[in-house]
Structure 1
Amino acid sequence: MILEMKVPSPGESITEVEIAQWLVVDGDYVEKDQAIAEVDSDKATLELPAEVSGTVTLKAEEGDAVEVGQVVCLIDTEGTPEAGSKPAVADTKTAATATEVTPVAAADDNYAAGSASPAAKKIIAEKGLDIETLMGTGRNGRITKEDAVNAVPSMGTAPVGSKRGEERKKLSMLRRKVAERLVAVKNETAMLTTFNEADMAPIFALRKKYKEKFAEKHGVNLGFMSFFTKA
């Protein structure tokens, strides 16, 4: 059976999203609930999970803007993993025996140790972090999105004579929306400052004359706020 994967609605006011990154390639076998793509909306970057297990066929390219409810890929539920993707029974038994004998070594060789989730990878790339310096707090040492958000970029000094590189890339939908709002605020809002001048000499003289009597009677100093309020 062929299942059509459609873009879910990220929110009431959002009608369009952008395919930020495919996490699988055409023809891959995916498991149910496996993240297969990252989509950008006006408000956030979301992961698109597979609804069923099967072989995926992509119907949209990275960077494409797609409507909510549009089909972005197909999943053939009759598809099976490629030969060699599943370990043989004998290999499974051997691996189980090795796990029982040396559990510590098996834990060290876990594929998730030191690897980052898709959302974490994007944040690491944006912040320019070195993934080797991050300590994962997720299961089996996996680097989570929170680890990447909380990580602080290194403030090291660039080598002498080095030049800062330049890279041009398409803005994400979220960044485009932020830029659009900032420009709209500048164009639609009166950005000005008003200055009013006043001769404060009489107020200074009046305060100097009565400040001691005022403090003696009320227990507080006579400030300028009372005059401003009266004005």
Structure 2
Amino acid sequence: MSTEIKVPVLPESVSDATIATWHKKPGDAVSRDENLVDLETDKVVLEVPSPVDGVLKEIKFDSGATVTSEQVLAIVEAGAAASIDKADAKDSGAKKEEAKKQEADTRPVQPKAEAAKPASKSADKADLPPGARFTAAKEGIDPSQVEGTGRRGAVTKEDLLNYAKNAGVGKASGNRAEERVPMTRMRSRIAERLMQSKNSTAMLTSSNEVNMKAVMDMRKSQGEAFKNAYGIKLGFMSFFVKAAANALQRYPLVNASVDGNDIIYHGYSDISIAVSTDKGLVTPVLRNAESMGFAEVEQAIDGYAKAAREGGLKLEDLQGGTFTITNGGTFGSLFSTPIINPPQSAILGMHAIKERAIVENGQVIAAPMMYIALSYDHRIIDGKDAVLFLVDIKNQLENPHRMLLGM
């Protein structure tokens, strides 16, 4: 029986998708729930699994094609082939290849005919993401020799760099590699939204600094008990999420958005958390963060981070959001001016914690300090509100017990 494989129903905000990668080709056996193809939208990569065991009979669209909701992508023929043991199928395939080879050997050689060349392992470069492909060419690395740590064993840019460093593989002598590749759909959308933000908002950034000693002391004293109780590490992000959620309730304009000539006030704090992936930055949303506990925040962030790395984020995970927090400190950034995520009106930037000399009670001491920055839409948020919002965040982080008391 033939089964149609269709594009999932896309949300109204996503009109179409691009076929990124086919993981099967016609004639391949497929198992139920096995991923057949990746579809890339503006926001996330969707996996399309087979609903049945069988054989992939036909592919309707090649990689790179644009498809819409419920279009037929492929046909899977359910039947006896699906019950064939994989090892037997492999042996059968090998026998067929051997038979073809023997048949070819018995054919007369045609004049000027060039013998077929086996595909080299370096042909695997075509399956690499653009950044990894460029790195492989630049470092002179055969990607087939590198163990991948990405989704389904894919070789990432980091894998190639680590291989070059640890395996002693140097740059190809005299190699000045260049490669022109089109932006992925997600990267193109990110670029479009960032330009939209710069061009459509009156963006301004205010900053402050926070002494993180109290937070670090609490993580040190309570971290083990927290992990034993909830099975998750107590990170820095939960402190910032809770501090922001509390401050957003006191400064509702920072949590608002502009719609034409109207200001929309949100009575809830849906906080977007910036997560970096191989394909670009995504911002999954913590819904009703004002009512979440520390453990709920940490578990949600951990789940989103794993889903982002494995390509398992859903479209609904990324939609909405009234405020964003981004942590450039993870990568060593000391200070930045983050760009607003439209239609939101503000974004909070965290940065690296560095020991610096400060004056406390008339004495110069070393303290773990972090710069924080708030970029905001000056059309609706005045400088006074932005500064007071940052001071509120600072006061909560320097006195974390205030958050536990909802202060």
Query: What range is the shorter-chain TM-score in?
Result: 0.5 to 0.7
What is the aligned partner in structure 1 of residue 190 from structure 2?
Answer: 178
Output the CA distance in 1 between the equivalents of 2:68 and 2:80: 27
Paired residue for 1:209?
A: none
Q: Distance in 2 between matches of 1:162 and 1:152?
A: 16
Match of 2:67 in 1: 66
| Equivalent residue pairs, number | 159
Contact persistence 1:59–1:72 (CA under 8 A): yes
CA distance in 2, matches of 1:65, 1:153: 33
Equivalent-residue separation in structure 1 for 2:46 and 2:66 (angstroms): 14
The separation in 2 between residues aligned to 1:10 and 1:150, in whole angstroms, is 32
Where does the alignment leave 5 or more consecutive residues of structure 2 unmatched? 90-126, 137-142, 206-360, 363-407
Q: Are the counterparts in 2 of residues 127 and 153 from structure 1 also a CA contact under 8 Å?
A: no
Confirm or deny: 8 A CA contact 1:123 1:149 kept in the other structure: no
Indicate the residue corresponding to 2:53 in structure 1.
Answer: 53
Residue pair 2:53, 2:82 contacting (<8 A) in 1 also? no
Structure 2 CA distance for partners of 1:170 and 1:59, relative to 1, 3 Å? same
**Structure 2 matches for 1:1-231, cutoff 5 A?**
1-9=1-9, 11=11, 13-56=13-56, 57-78=58-79, 80=81, 87=88, 122=129, 125=132, 128=135, 130=143, 132-134=145-147, 144=153, 151=159, 153-154=161-162, 158-165=171-178, 167-190=179-202
Whether the aligned pair in 2 keeps the contact of 1:9 and 1:15 (CA below 8 Å) is: no
Q: Which amino acid aligns with 2:175?
A: S
Distance in 2 separating the partners of 1:168 and 1:17: 23
Deviation at 1:175, TM superposition (A): 1.3
In structure 2, relative to structure 1, the CA distance for the partners of 1:20 and 1:78 (3 Å cut) is same
Is the strand fraction higher in 1 or 2? Answer: 2
Q: 1:126 to 1:10 in 2, by over 3 A?
A: farther
**Structure 1 Cα separation of the partners of residues 52 and 72 of structure 2:** 15
How many angstroms apart in 2 are the aligned matches of 1:43 and 1:185?
16
Using a 3 Å threshold, how does the CA distance of structure 1 residues 135 and 168 change in structure 2: closer, same or farther? closer
**Cα offset for 1:48?**
1.6
3-state DSSP of counterpart to 1:4: strand
Question: SS of 2:70's equivalent?
Answer: coil
**Contact conserved, 2:28 with 2:55, CA < 8 A, in 1?**
yes
What RMSD, in angstroms, separates the aligned Cα atoms of the two structures?
4.2
2:161 alignment partner AA? P
Structure with greater Cα Rg: 1
C-alpha offsets along residues 186-205 of structure 1, whole Å, 9 cap, x if unaligned?
33234689xxxxxxxxxxxx
Deviation at 1:72, TM superposition (A): 0.6
Cα distance in structure 1, aligned partners of 2:17 and 2:133: 20
Counterpart Cα distance in 1 of 2:23 and 2:152: 17
Change in 2 beyond 3 A, CA 1:185/1:18: same
Question: Which residue identity does 2:174 align to in structure 1?
Answer: G
Matched-pair contact (CA < 8 Å) for 2:34–2:50: yes
Report the Cα offset of residue 45 of structure 1: 1.7
Moved over 3 A (4+): 9-12, 81-86, 120-136, 142-145, 147-152, 154-157, 189-193
Normalised TM-score (structure 2)? 0.32
Aligned partner of residue 180 in structure 1, secondary structure: helix
Aligned residues of 1:134 and 1:143 also touching (Cα < 8 A): no
Q: Which amino acid aligns with 1:16?
A: D
Rate the CA distance shift 1:128–1:60 in 2: closer, same or farther, 3 A: same
Code of the aligned partner of 2:64: G
Name the aligned partner's letter for residue 172 of structure 1: T
Aligned mates of 2:35, 2:76 — CA distance in 1: 13
Distance across 1 between alignment mates of 2:173 and 2:135: 20
TM-score with structure 1 setting the length: 0.53
Separation in structure 2 between the aligned mates of residue 125 and residue 73 of structure 1, nearest angstrom: 29
